[in-house]
């Protein structure tokens, strides 16, 4: 998940340089501004791989990619940094002026929230989702979950992009304005009707009859393995929960009336591990489909979704030597796909060339193919470019932690630095609940030593083999739990 892309400040060559002189390009990682607010400046440049290089007269290591760099301590005000590259008697030099501004930084401004003078009745549109607060970052606000269209809610406040909606008397969430329209009859409290549980052959299905569509919040627990779905504006009036056939995944279903207008559905599993679920309305009935465990956990019997991040006009991070994240991601994923196919697995790729499908298109590809499990590969970009930064894995839902952890442990077995295992990650491809999924941020495009590794096709195959190993380790972990 690239956090920044190296941008060329200038291609600096001596005015008297000859064709035989080594190339020299200086890059910047701070949006190409000449003013910085940190006393330590990381200079990154590229020359020919067979050249030597120096920064302010001190020789520095040149990687096989031609990249090199140095940490420069700045004094307040204007600083001139001299960079040179040499091959024998041929030399290219350039200088870079950096202004270090050490004055106090202005505090970041908060997004203004305005209370509506009169509550606004709204209805959700296709693609709507709820988020916990009105904050955000490059991945957007922290999502609760997606919700169906035609759910009536009452907006009580707003920011330029969001409505604050009342879910119940005491609970609120935020809904993007682009996924709402005026209308509806407000969020009145209703009584629930009958419940039923049935085995459909591929899922265990729970159906709850309601007089109208209500907003909901679903989440997973792992000890014990459980799904909880809170219905807002609901009071239990279901005097029977009928199970019509033997279930495969569900042990039992119960409810908790958490507040007078918040009813929580509790679904307890027989297995330790989950294989996905969906929540949707059929008319006004809430339907929860819990996927059965695959009949076999052998790779040859599974459908595995693979995603190479970025692509097409979206290059992702670009390393100093010009290596693009999209091409590295794709090469690793194609290697993973080849290895899995040789083991008999069916593979579903979101892209197999230099295309850039949207996040919605990638998720639809996996959903339509009925993948059993899925993973996405990216490479990171941030931090100190002169050091190794490491590998990391990510998940959104706690039920996917074991899968992400298995991938992460496998990558670390290569001797890579541990950049972390991150939960509640707001990446779009980690959002679906219909199948287990995880994201691997393999290495850092911005790290000069890791750029050198990523530029090596043989090493990319090693990385791919470790991703496959992590997947197999997770499946073995699931088998041992049965």
Q: What tens digit of pLDDT does each residue of 274-289 get? A: 999 999 999 999 999 9
Helix (H) or strand (E) holding 195: strand 195-199
Interacting residues of 443 by C-beta distance below 8 A, sequence separation 6+: 379, 380, 389, 390, 391, 416, 450, 453, 454, 463
Say if CB 381 and CB 5 are below 8 A apart: yes
- The three-point CA angle 19-24-30 to 5° equals 155
In this structure, the strands spanning 234-235 and 190-191 are parallel
In this predicted structure, the answer to whether residue 103 has a pLDDT above a threshold of 50 is yes
Contact between 268 and 249 under an 8 Å Cβ cutoff? The reply is no
User: What digits encode the pLDDT tens for the residues 113-159?
Assistant: 999 999 999 999 999 999 999 988 777 888 999 999 999 999 999 99
What pLDDT sits at residue 245? 86
Calculate mean pLDDT across residues 35-54: 94
pLDDT recorded at residue 179: 97
Q: pLDDT, tens digit, for every residue of 200-244?
A: 999 999 999 999 999 999 999 999 999 999 999 999 998 888 888
How buried is 89 (Cβ within 10 angstroms: 0-12 exposed, 13-18 middle, 19+ buried)? exposed
pLDDT of 30 over the 70 cut = no
pTM above 0.85, yes or no: yes
pLDDT tens for residues 156-178?
Answer: 999 999 999 999 999 999 999 99
Q: What is the mean pLDDT of residues 435-447?
A: 98
How large is the average pLDDT for residues 92-117?
89
Tell me the longest C-alpha to C-alpha distance in the chain: 90
Q: In whole angstroms, what is the distance from residue 477 CA to residue 272 CA? A: 10
What is the reported pLDDT for 34?
80
């Amino acid at each position: 998940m690239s956090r920044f892309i190296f941008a060329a400040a200038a291609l600096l060559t001596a005015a008297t340089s000859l064709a035989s002189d080594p190339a020299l390009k200086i890059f910047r990682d701070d949006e190409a501004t000449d003013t910085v607010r940190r006393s330590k400046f990381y200079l990154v440049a590229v020359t020919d791989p067979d050249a030597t290089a120096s920064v302010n007269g001190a020789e520095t290591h040149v990687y096989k990619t031609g990249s090199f760099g140095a940490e420069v301590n700045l004094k307040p005000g204007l600083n001139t940094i001299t960079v040179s590259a040499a091959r024998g008697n041929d030399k290219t030099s350039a200088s870079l002026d950096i202004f270090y501004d050490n004055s106090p930084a202005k505090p970041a401004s908060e997004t203004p929230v305005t209370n509506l003078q009169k509550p606004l009745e709204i209805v959700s549109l296709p693609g709507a989702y709820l988020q916990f607060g009105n904050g955000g970052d490059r991945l957007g606000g922290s999502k609760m979950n997606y919700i169906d269209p035609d759910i009536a809610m009452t907006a009580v406040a707003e920011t330029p992009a969001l409505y604050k909606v009342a879910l119940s008397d005491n609970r609120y969430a935020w809904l993007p304005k682009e996924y709402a329209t005026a209308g509806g009859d407000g969020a009145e409290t209703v009584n629930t009707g009958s419940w039923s549980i049935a085995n459909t052959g591929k899922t265990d299905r729970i159906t709850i009859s309601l007089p109208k569509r209500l907003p909901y919040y679903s989440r997973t627990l792992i000890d014990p393995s459980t799904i909880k779905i809170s219905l807002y504006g609901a009071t239990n009036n279901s005097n029977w929960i009928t199970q019509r056939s033997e279930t495969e995944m569900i042990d039992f279903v119960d409810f908790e009336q958490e507040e007078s207008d918040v009813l929580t559905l509790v679904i307890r599993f027989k297995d330790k591990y989950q294989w996905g679920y969906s929540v949707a309305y059929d008319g006004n009935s809430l339907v929860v489909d819990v996927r059965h465990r695959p009949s076999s956990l052998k790779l040859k019997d599974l459908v595995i979704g693979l995603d190479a991040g970025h692509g097409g006009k979206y290059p992702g991070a670009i390393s100093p030597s010009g290596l693009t994240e999209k091409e590295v991601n794709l090469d690793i994923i194609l290697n993973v796909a080849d290895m899995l196919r040789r083991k008999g697995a069916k593979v579903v790729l979101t892209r197999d060339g230099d295309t850039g499908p949207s996040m919605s298109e990638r998720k639809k590809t996996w959903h339509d193919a009925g993948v059993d499990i899925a993973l996405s590969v990216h490479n990171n970009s941030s931090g100190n470019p002169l050091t190794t930064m490491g590998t990391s894995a990510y998940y959104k839902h706690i039920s996917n932690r074991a899968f992400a952890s298995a991938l992460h442990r496998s990558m670390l077995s290569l001797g890579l630095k541990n950049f972390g295992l991150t939960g509640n990650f707001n990446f779009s491809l980690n959002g679906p609940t219909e199948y287990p999924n995880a994201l691997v941020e393999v290495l850092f495009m911005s790290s000069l030593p890791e750029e050198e590794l990523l530029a090596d096709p043989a090493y990319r195959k090693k990385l791919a083999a470790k991703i496959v190993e992590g997947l197999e380790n997770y499946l073995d972990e699931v088998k041992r739990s049965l």
